[in-house]
């Protein structure tokens, strides 16, 4: 690879780019060491605030992310799961469970009762395709199984939604934009 | 409209192939990637217009490998955003400028992609999606910064030489 061809001029150079280039190459050749004039010092001053800014943003992001991580409690919890069907009819299931996540609860209910569901894992987490034999086909009519937690629109997929004692969950057949 | 020469097409094909190969090579390490760096250097060396075309070819190739998904819509605009910002900063020569840009890009990757998620599932879904992806965004940003600091200049030098040899205008 002809990396050491020295007379390369970058196509998008500053006005007076050739001179600039030569200066740059000279600097490269001398490597770290003797620094000509005040140019490098000026550089240092300019990058510092940007890097500090980045560090602050990273800190904020980590802060936001760790505060929003839902805490999971285990142990015997009594919860309810309500299924609201396409026609608006509902079935309610009550359970004593050690499930950490809603998906575990759903699996438990499916193993022990009349509840059933089908789901696939997606990049967003578990995607509920069918509940009690009713398939929500998003591609066909924008239908999907929405998750409500204590009456609020769920923030997590079923496999990320923690189960707390006293929680009431709802799986609701919805079309179009939910919320 | 300018006619695309065989040389030009070969360059586009090679640029896309290198992107795809670098992506595949590092796919085992989540969010450590050379694609952002390559897009920046491509923009500086080969020009924004050519790189924009390459970004769409890259998205097409990704669809062939992974199938079409929601991320396809993300890819159609996240890379052009990076190319645009690189183009705006093209007069800068300092490595850190592009390392910082690359870091910002990595940090905001989830937020950028959440725009499509918002169209699909509403803002609350987009928000929780962004939230759950923050740790990955942070890794992405930091790794982008390090990768750019290490590889930006050598890659730019090498590709500039290649560009001259290919006699692209």
pLDDT below 50 — which residues of chain B?
Answer: 1
Taking residue A82's Cβ as centre, other Cβ atoms within 10 Å add up to 15
Does A11 contact B at CB distance below 8 Å? yes
- Judged by CB atoms closer than 8 Å, whether chains meet at B163 and A1 is answered as no
Please tell me the distance from the alpha carbon of residue B18 to that of residue B4, in angstroms, as a whole number. Answer: 20
- Judged by CB atoms closer than 8 Å, whether chains meet at A2 and B161 is answered as yes
Helix (H) or strand (E) holding A145: strand A143-149
Residue with tokens 């004593």: A96
Bridge-based pairing of strands A125-131 and A134-135 is: antiparallel
pLDDT of residue A38: 46
Chain B residues with beta carbon closer than 8 angstroms to that of A43 = 94, 96
pLDDT of residue A42: 52
pLDDT of residue B3: 62
Please tell me the distance from the alpha carbon of residue A23 to that of residue B45, in angstroms, as a whole number. Answer: 19
Q: How far is CA B130 from CA B19, B82, B96, B118, B159, in A?
A: 26, 19, 27, 10, 35
Q: What is the mean pLDDT of residues A7-19?
A: 44
Instruction: Give the ipTM of the model, two decimals please.
Output: 0.77
Does B132 contact A at CB distance below 8 Å? yes
- Judged by CB atoms closer than 8 Å, whether chains meet at B163 and A123 is answered as no
pLDDT of residue A17: 42
Taking residue A173's Cβ as centre, other Cβ atoms within 10 Å add up to 20
Q: How far is CA A76 from CA A100, A148, A163, B124, in A?
A: 10, 21, 10, 30
pLDDT of residue A2: 46
Q: Give tens-digit pLDDT for A26-82.
A: 444 444 444 444 445 555 568 888 889 999 999 999 888 887 766 665 557 889 999
Average pLDDT over all residues of chain A = 75
Chain A residues with beta carbon closer than 8 angstroms to that of B131 = 64-65, 68
CB A129, CB A157: distance < 8 Å: no
pLDDT reading at A16 higher than 70? no
Chain B residues with beta carbon closer than 8 angstroms to that of A3 = 154, 157-158, 161
CB B124, CB B6: distance < 8 Å: no
The pTM assigned to this predicted structure is 0.59
Does A155 contact B at CB distance below 8 Å? yes
């Amino acid at each position: 690879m002809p990396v050491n061809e020295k007379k390369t001029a970058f196509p998008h150079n500053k006005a007076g780019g050739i001179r600039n280039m030569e200066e740059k190459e000279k600097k490269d050749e001398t490597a770290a060491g003797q620094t000509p004039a005040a140019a490098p010092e000026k550089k240092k001053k300019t990058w510092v605030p940007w890097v500090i800014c980045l560090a602050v943003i990273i800190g904020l992001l980590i802060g936001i992310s760790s505060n929003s991580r839902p805490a999971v409690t285990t142990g015997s919890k009594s919860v309810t799961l309500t299924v609201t069907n396409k026609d608006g009819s509902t079935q309610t299931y009550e359970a004593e469970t050690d499930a950490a996540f809603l998906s575990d609860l759903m699996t438990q209910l499916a193993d022990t009762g009349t509840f059933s569901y089908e789901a696939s894992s997606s990049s967003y987490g578990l995607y509920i395709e069918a509940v009690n034999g009713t398939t929500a086909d998003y591609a066909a009519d924008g239908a999907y199984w929405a998750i409500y937690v204590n009456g609020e629109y769920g923030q997590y997929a079923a496999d990320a939604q923690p189960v707390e004692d006293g929680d009431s969950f709802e799986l609701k057949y919805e079309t179009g934009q939910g919320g | 409209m300018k006619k695309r020469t065989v040389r030009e097409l070969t360059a586009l094909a090679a640029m896309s192939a290198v992107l795809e190969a670098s992506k595949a090579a590092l796919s085992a390490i989540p969010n450590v990637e050379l694609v952002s760096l390559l897009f920046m250097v491509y923009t500086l060396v080969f020009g924004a217009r050519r790189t924009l075309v390459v970004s769409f070819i890259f998205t097409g190739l990704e669809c062939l490998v992974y199938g079409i998904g929601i991320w396809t819509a993300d890819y159609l605009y996240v890379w052009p955003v990076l190319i645009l910002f690189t183009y705006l900063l093209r007069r800068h020569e300092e490595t850190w400028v592009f390392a910082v840009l690359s870091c910002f890009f990595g940090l905001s990757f989830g937020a950028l992609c959440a725009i499509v998620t918002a169209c699909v599932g509403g803002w609350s879904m987009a928000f929780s999606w962004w939230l759950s992806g923050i740790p990955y965004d942070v890794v992405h940003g930091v790794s982008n910064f390090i990768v750019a600091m290490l590889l930006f200049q050598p890659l730019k030098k090498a590709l500039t030489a290649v560009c001259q040899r290919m006699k692209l205008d």
